Amino acid sequence: MTITTTRADCTRDNNLVYLPNASTLGFGLRKAKRGNWVQWESDNGHHVGRVIGRVVCEGKVYIEVAKAALDFSSAYVRWIDPAMVRECRENPPRRVFEFFAATTWDNPEDIHAALAYGVSDLHDQLTRENGT
């Protein structure tokens, strides 16, 4: 499926994008597709986001991502060079998000109890998007 863009010289689609510098340790993937969670480095900073698709513009391939602001106050679209991606995972770390987004933090003992067992995305990476 081709997705339109406002630039006539660019095309967007959902083809896989090879990530030459991405780690394959643990749950790391070498190819990115829509919905994957990516971490990349640029401008001496580290960034995270979720893949929207692939962009080809002026003969160069980019990954289109919804990038999260450092404080998670907003998200916006960025085109990134696949060589900048350091890690790609199938799913976003939902359990970690849910831990930080909990509406009540009344009891420090409950918080410490959760952290004692580790709040990680292990379950998220082992669970498919469709719930199987």
Q: What is the pTM of this model?
A: 0.79
DSSP-derived 3-state class of residue 47? strand
Q: How far apart are CA 79 and CA 58, in angstroms?
A: 13
Q: What is the mean pLDDT of residues 43-52?
A: 91
pLDDT category of residue 126 using cuts at 50, 70 and 90: confident
Identify which of 23, 44, 43, 40 has the alpha carbon closest to the alpha carbon of residue 80.
40
Among 3-7, 10-14, 64-68, the range scoring the smallest mean pLDDT is: 3-7
**Mean pLDDT along residues 14-42:** 94
At 97, phi and psi to the nearest 5? -60, -45
For the stretch 95-114, pLDDT in tens is 888 888 888 888 888 888 87
Q: Can you give the pLDDT at residue 108?
A: 87
CATH match of 10-89 with 2.30.30: yes
What does residue 75 show for φ and ψ, rounded to 5 degrees?
Answer: -140, 150
User: How far is the C-alpha of 2 from the C-alpha of 4, rounded, in Å?
Assistant: 7
Give span(s): CATH 2.30.30, the chain: 10-89
